[in-house]
Amino acid sequence: MTFSPELEARFEKFLAKYPADRKRSAVIPMLIYGQDEVGAITDELINEVAKRTGATPLQVTEVVGFYSMLHRKPQGKYHVQVCTNISCLLVGGAELWEQACKKTGLGHKETSKDGLISLEEVECMGACSWAPAVQVNYDFYHDVTPEQLDKLIDGLAAGKKPEQIAEVTKVSC
């Protein structure tokens, strides 16, 4: 399996982090960064990660199902994650999630036909004091209102990059 030079370099760096006989430690980092490039955790990716870390494909498969950020099905180019856990729930997280569903016509873990947007209702993402919060891929959005979410989704649907959407600002650097 071939990856971009950037990802290859990253994998090499990962594998160098752990003792020589402990390459299996790189399984999860390789899976999640690999998913970012491949689009999903494919059988091919599982086998490749297994091969490079000395784990068996079954051991890697066991790992994939355990972690909620690892997906066997391809997600959208923009994976919109809305937190509805307790801190967000108290300040409109549920309404925000409903709005996201209404706006996109998608449900939990569904992807738009054009592959642009996918939705996921997620557990606490660590933005409780700036709730309700949304993550698009790995970027955080704090204190999101339903109106802002609409703008964000409209912008993404219009082919804009998240940073080009003026109404909402991602907070993570």
Partner 1 sequence: MLYNQPNPLEVKVLSRRFTLPNSQSIETYLANDGYKALEKALGMTQDQIIDEVKASGLRGRGGAGFPTGLKWSFVPRQSPKPKYIVVNADESEPGTCKDRLLIEYDPHQLIEGVIIAGQAVGAEQGYIYIRGEYRYLIDVMDRAIDEAYARGVLGDNVMGSGRKFHLASHSGAGAYECGEESALLESFEGKRGNPRIRPPFPAVAGCYQSPTILNNVETFCAVPAIFLNGGAYFAGLGSPKNGGTRLFCLSGHVNKPGVYELPMGFNLMRMINEVGGGVRGGKKLKAVIPGGSSCPVLKADECDIAMDYDSVAAAKSMLGSGGVVVMDEDTCMVNAALRIMKFYAHESCGWCIPCREGTTWLKKLLTRFHEGMGQRSDIVLIGDLSKNMLGRTFCPLGDAAAMPTIAFVEKFKDEFEAHLDGKPCPYEKSNRMVAA
Partner 2 sequence: MADLVKFTIDGREIEAAAGTLVIEAAKKNGIEIPSFCYYEGLSLQAACRMCLVEVEKMPKMQVACTLPVGAGMVVRTDTEQVRKARKTTLEFLLVNHPLDCPVCDKGGECELQDMVFKYGAGESRFTETKMHVDEQQWSPVVFYDGPRCILCFRCVRACEEGMGVAALGVVNRGAQSLIAPNHGDHLECDECGQCIDICPVGALTSGAYRYQTRPWEMEHVGTICTHCSDGCKTTLGVRGDEIMRGNNRDRSGVNGEFLCAKGRYAYDFYNHAERIQSPMVRVGGKLEPVSWSKALELVARKFGEIRSRSGEIGVIGSSHTTNEENYYLQKFARQGLNTNNIDHHRTGDVVTLVDALSGTTGQLATTQDLYEKKAFLVIGADLALEHPFLSYQIRASFRHHAAHVYTVTAEKVREDDYAVRSVRKAAGTELEALEDLRAALAAEPELVILFGDAVKGDGVRKLVEFGQSLGTAVKYCALVDYANSRGAIDMGLVPELLPGYQASGKSGLSVKEMLASQTLEALWVVGANPLKSGPLASKKTFVVVQDMFLTETAQRADVVLPAASAYEKSGTVTNVCGEVQRLTRAVTAVGAKTDLEIIGLIAKEMSLAATVGPWSSETVYNEIRKTVKGYNIPLAMLAVQAQQTAPVNGRVAVESRPDLIHSAHDGLFTSGTLGRYSKILNSVMESRKETVTA
Name the residues that contact partner 1, by CB under 8 A.
17, 19, 22, 24-29, 31-33, 53, 55, 59, 62-63, 66-70, 84-87, 89-91, 94-95, 97-98, 101, 107-108, 121, 123-131, 135, 138-140, 142, 171-173
- Write down the least CB distance from residue 16 to partner 2, Å: 26
Nearer to partner 2 by Cβ, of 31 and 168: the residue is 31
Residue in 59, 112, 137, 145 binding partner 2, rule: CB under 8 A: 59
Residue 64 binds partner 2 (CB under 8 A)? yes
Stretch that binds partner 2, among 60-68, 98-106, 144-152, 164-172 (CB under 8 A): 60-68
Strands (E), the chain: 78-83, 110-111, 117-122, 134-136, 139-141
Q: How far apart are CA 56 and CA 114, in angstroms?
A: 35
Q: How many CB atoms lie within 10 A of CB 104?
A: 21
Nearer to partner 2 by Cβ, of 60 and 144: the residue is 60
Q: How far is CA 158 from CA 76, 78, 92, 153, 166, in A?
A: 14, 12, 26, 8, 13
Residue 136, beta-bridge partner list: 80, 139
From the list partner 1, partner 2, none, pick the one residue 118 interacts with, judged by a Cβ distance below 5 to 8 Å according to partner type.
Answer: none
Q: How far apart are CA 36 and CA 3, in angstroms?
A: 11
124 burial level (CB within 10 Å; 0-12, 13-18, 19+): middle
**Beta carbons of 96 and 135 less than 8 angstroms apart:** no
Q: 131: closest CA among 78, 68, 84, 168?
A: 84
Nearer to partner 2 by Cβ, of 48 and 141: the residue is 48
Residue 68 binds partner 2 (CB under 8 A)? yes
Residue 21 binds partner 2 (CB under 8 A)? no
From the list partner 1, partner 2, none, pick the one residue 57 interacts with, judged by a Cβ distance below 5 to 8 Å according to partner type.
Answer: partner 2
Residues that bind partner 2 (CB under 8 A): 43, 56-59, 61-62, 64-68
